[in-house]
């Protein structure tokens, strides 16, 4: 049987199930006509040597709403493909080097939470990535570009860099133990920083010497409550490492040497200070925030804070501040509360100022 008669056979089978009669033969005629048209179209496409025609790129929204996913950026089936593909290729990066999960998570924080900016991939701009604050994020920039390219090739459609950064961080969150943020409402649809825009000021990010009041005030400008700030910051620091430079001033006090007996920072547990001082004296290295489960996004760092074993002064402050100490105790005591709250905070942060007037629609939809 050739293709046409096979199609006609299938059509008549449909008629039989439909009960036959006059309606049946009309259906047969229509069906046969369709089959003929379809076959003709297939033959035409084959002779032209062209694959099935792709629709034109989507009509991008001209004025997307700030802070809201722009659903005009991808056709739905393409968004679905990219969601899975970015996760797959980001996970492959983390499997090769599991320390990159933390760096990818920190990358989305530094992309999304600079004052005046949002999740628009401005972190990759020269002004931001070359700032010393972001020095340790540089190592995953090539990975972001690779993941984007691989996902683009697999789906035939290029994701934006902002979506790649956010989804790669989401993959890191899943790899280190939580559910896929898609189950908490995570979506793709972030435009990238417009080419003529300079990016934002990385020094507006918090640093470890700031008071917790200042940090909470800063996070409040992004709409984070004290509770959300707690789960986001201390949850974030339940994976990854910090350079001794960020905490060595807490360790020893020349006038009370050896510093491990009486740390310069009285909010630090002396036995931990002793160990950190010893490790940092060998060479300038990076040490884990959560030395119990450094590769798990979990509540063990909350528990360490209750024992004065936080690495940064600003982390430790969360367990003493009247606006946050109850939350540290809550997550430390009831780990089951953590996962859902962290994922909700992640989704909220990953929407900060998305599609602001500083962003532009993509110049290329199809890969390459
Ligand atoms: C509350 C204010 C915060 C301060 C003062 C702070 C400060 C720091 C510092 C000093 C480091 C070490 C950098 C280095 O030595 O390379 C670091 C690392 C890190 N931060 Fe924060 N951070 C804050 C909030 C957050 C938040 C909200 C997140 C949420 C995702 C986060 C995620 C991370 C991660 C995952 C790392 C480890 C990166 C790696 O291992 O490559 N931080 N942070
Ligand atoms: C925080 O203060 C310590 C001690 O004064 C200093 O060594 C360190 O560089 C400061 N960190 C930042 C980010 O300013
Ligand atoms: C070091 O210890 C002395 C004596 O306990 C104290 O007066 C001083 O403030 C401490 N210095 C620092 C930097 O913590």
Q: How far apart are CA 297 and CA 96, in angstroms?
A: 18
Answer yes or no: do 84 and 194 share one domain: yes
Atom of ligand 3 nearest to the CA of 256: 2
Q: Please check whether residue 66 lies inside any domain of the structure.
A: no
pLDDT for 257 equals 55
Answer yes or no: do 171 and 193 share one domain: yes
Q: Please check whether residue 54 lies inside any domain of the structure.
A: no
Would you say 206 is a known binding-site residue?
yes
CA of 332 to the centre of ligand 2 (A): 29
133 in contact with ligand 3, CB cutoff 6 A = no
pLDDT for 256 equals 56
Q: Please check whether residue 61 lies inside any domain of the structure.
A: no
pLDDT for 283 equals 78
Most ligand 3 atoms within 8 A of CB, residue of 264, 265, 268, 277 to mutate: 264
Answer yes or no: do 158 and 286 share one domain: no
CATH of the domain at 221: 1.10.420.10
pLDDT for 286 equals 96
Answer yes or no: do 282 and 310 share one domain: yes
Instruction: With residue 339 as reference, give the H or E element that holds it.
Output: helix 338-349
Calculate the dihedral angle through the C-alpha atoms of 208, 211, 217, 222, rounding to the nearest 10 degrees. Answer: 10
Answer yes or no: do 223 and 155 share one domain: no
pLDDT for 253 equals 64
256 in contact with ligand 3, CB cutoff 6 A = yes
Residues 6 or more apart from 46 whose CB is under 8 A from it? none
Indicate the burial class of 322 (C-beta count within 10 angstroms; 0-12, 13-18, 19 or more): exposed
253 in contact with ligand 3, CB cutoff 6 A = yes
CA of 206 to the centre of ligand 1 (A): 9
pLDDT for 14 equals 33
Q: Are the CB atoms for 206 and 222 separated by under 8 Å?
A: no
Domain that holds residue 235: 208-349
Would you say 237 is a known binding-site residue?
yes
Instruction: With residue 249 as reference, give the H or E element that holds it.
Output: none
Would you say 336 is a known binding-site residue?
no
Answer yes or no: do 92 and 190 share one domain: yes
Q: Is 110 a catalytic residue?
A: yes
What are the backbone angles phi and psi of residue 298, rounded to the nearest 5°?
A: -150, -170
pLDDT for 50 equals 55
Overall number of domains in the chain: 3
Answer yes or no: do 92 and 18 share one domain: no
User: Mean pLDDT of successive 10-residue segments in the chain (368 residues)?
Assistant: 36 33 42 43 46 88 97 98 98 98 98 97 97 97 98 98 98 98 98 96 97 98 98 98 95 63 89 89 89 98 98 98 98 98 98 97 96
Sign of the dihedral defined by the CA atoms of residues 19, 25, 30, 34, in that order:
positive
Greatest Cα-to-Cα distance within the chain, rounded to the nearest angstrom: 103
Among candidate residues 177, 203, 229, the one where a domain is terminated? 203
- Catalytic-labelled residue, pool 87, 110, 148, 321: 110
pLDDT for 258 equals 57
206 in contact with ligand 1, CB cutoff 6 A = yes
Q: Please check whether residue 364 lies inside any domain of the structure.
A: no
CA of 258 to the centre of ligand 1 (A): 28
Strands of the chain, DSSP E: 192-193, 241-243, 286-288, 359-360
239 in contact with ligand 1, CB cutoff 6 A = yes
pLDDT for 340 equals 98
Q: Please check whether residue 57 lies inside any domain of the structure.
A: no
């Amino acid at each position: 049987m050739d293709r046409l008669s096979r199609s006609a056979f299938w059509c008549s089978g449909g008629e039989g199930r439909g009960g036959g009669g006059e309606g049946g033969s009309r259906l047969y005629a229509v069906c046969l006509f369709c089959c003929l048209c379809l076959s003709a179209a297939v033959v035409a496409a084959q002779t032209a040597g062209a694959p099935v025609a792709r629709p034109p790129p989507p009509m991008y929204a001209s004025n997307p709403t700030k802070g809201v996913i722009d659903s005009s950026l991808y056709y739905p089936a393409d968004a679905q493909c990219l969601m899975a593909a970015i996760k797959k290729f980001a996970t492959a990066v983390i499997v090769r080097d599991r320390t990159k999960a933390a760096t990818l998570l920190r990358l989305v924080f530094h992309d999304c939470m600079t004052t005046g900016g949002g999740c628009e991939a401005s972190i990759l701009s020269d002004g931001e990535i070359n700032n010393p604050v972001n020095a340790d994020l540089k190592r995953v920039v090539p990975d972001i570009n690779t993941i984007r390219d691989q996902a683009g090739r697999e789906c035939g459609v290029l994701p934006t860099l902002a979506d790649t950064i956010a989804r790669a961080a989401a993959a890191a969150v899943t790899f280190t133990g939580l559910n896929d943020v898609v189950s908490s409402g995570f979506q793709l649809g972030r435009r990238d920083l417009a080419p003529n825009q300079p990016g934002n000021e990385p020094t507006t990010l918090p640093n470890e010497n700031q008071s917790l009041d200042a940090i909470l005030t800063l996070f409040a400008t992004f709409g984070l409550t004290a509770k959300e700030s707690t789960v986001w910051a201390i949850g974030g620091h339940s994976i990854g490492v910090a350079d001794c430079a960020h905490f060595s001033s807490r360790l020893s006090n020349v006038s009370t040497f050896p510093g491990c007996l009486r740390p310069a920072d009285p909010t630090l547990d002396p036995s931990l200070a002793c160990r950190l001082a010893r490790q940092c004296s060998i060479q300038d290295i990076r040490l884990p925030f959560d030395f119990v489960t450094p590769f798990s996004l979990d509540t063990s760092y909350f528990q360490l804070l209750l024992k004065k074993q936080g690495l940064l002064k600003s982390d430790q402050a969360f367990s003493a501040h009247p606006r946050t100490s109850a939350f540290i105790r809550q997550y430390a005591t009831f780990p089951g509360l953590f996962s859902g709250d962290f994922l909700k905070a992640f989704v909220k942060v990953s929407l900060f100022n998305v599609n602001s007037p500083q962003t532009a629609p993509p110049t290329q939809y199809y890969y390459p």
